Amino acid sequence: MSDLVALLDSLVNSSGQILIPGMYDDVAPFTQQEKKQYELIEFDVEEHKSNLGVQEFLYDTKEKILLHMWRLPSLSIHGIEGAFYEPGMKTVIPSRVIGKFSIRQVPHMNLSKVEHQVKKHLEDVFSNRRSPNKLTVSMEMSSMPWIANINDPQYTAAKKAIRKVFNQDPDMIRDGSTIPIARVFQDITRKSVMMLPIGAMDDGEHSQKEKISRFNYISGTKMFASFLLEISKLQASNLKTVI
């Protein structure tokens, strides 16, 4: 257990920076155009603190917070399998434990390269401990990063639909969600894929207190209907141009 705790502790520091050598080498550079998009996004830092129930963030500006939420690779430790975790005291030392963590991939990170970097790092740390235990590192699941082209016509239709139903222009955001099916759909169909959510920041997707407001549900239904109408207008316009 002490070996595993040491290995997990070597992965990321208290500021959220990944400590695995080379992990940031292939991350796509931050452009001025992206910077302007982040500046325009409506985001209340104090409200976000309240929603999460924290006093302070690791980063002090809106742009830095959003960059680490959406754009940069992040490492999350999820749990330890094989250890005693129930209420009460139990001093049995486990003979085998499994640590679980994930690394969010972003453009232009390479899965094979990341796997090699992670394994080498953990094996080096473990070797320096001179432990009699045995270490096995495996990648159980992987998926390529996906990012949309916000200049695609369907985004034009979505913006019009949102403006019509919600009476305001949408923010074009990135998100650190794990939705590998988006990249799969795009690769197989060779078509542009779009995420068009109707939830709120505090909906807690997939958590124990997952929710969606009636307002978002009803307005979202109207928005999707409006979106289909706007898409049909774009297609009709394209047909006229071709003819």
List Cα–Cα distances, 121 to 21, 125, 140, 216, in angstroms: 7, 6, 17, 45
pLDDT digits (tens, 9 = 90+) for 117-135: 999 999 999 999 999 999 9
What confidence score (pLDDT) does residue 241 get?
A: 42
- pLDDT value for 237: 58
Measured in Å, how far apart are the chain's first and last C-alpha atoms?
70
* 152-171: pLDDT as tens digits: 899 999 999 999 999 999 98
pLDDT at 75: 96
Alpha-carbon gap, residue 121 to 103, rounded angstroms: 14
Burial of 104 (0-12, 13-18, 19+ CB in 10 A): middle
- Kindly report the length of the chain: 243
C-alpha angle 168-63-9 in degrees, rounded to nearest 5:
130
pLDDT in tens, 58-112: 888 888 899 998 899 999 999 999 998 888 988 888 999 999 999 999 999 999 9
Q: Which of 225, 1, 213, 174 is nearest to 93 (CA)?
A: 1
- pLDDT(13) > 50: yes
CA-based Rg of the chain, rounded to a whole angstrom? Answer: 22
Given a contact cutoff of 8 angstroms between Cβ atoms, the answer to whether 117 and 23 are in contact is yes
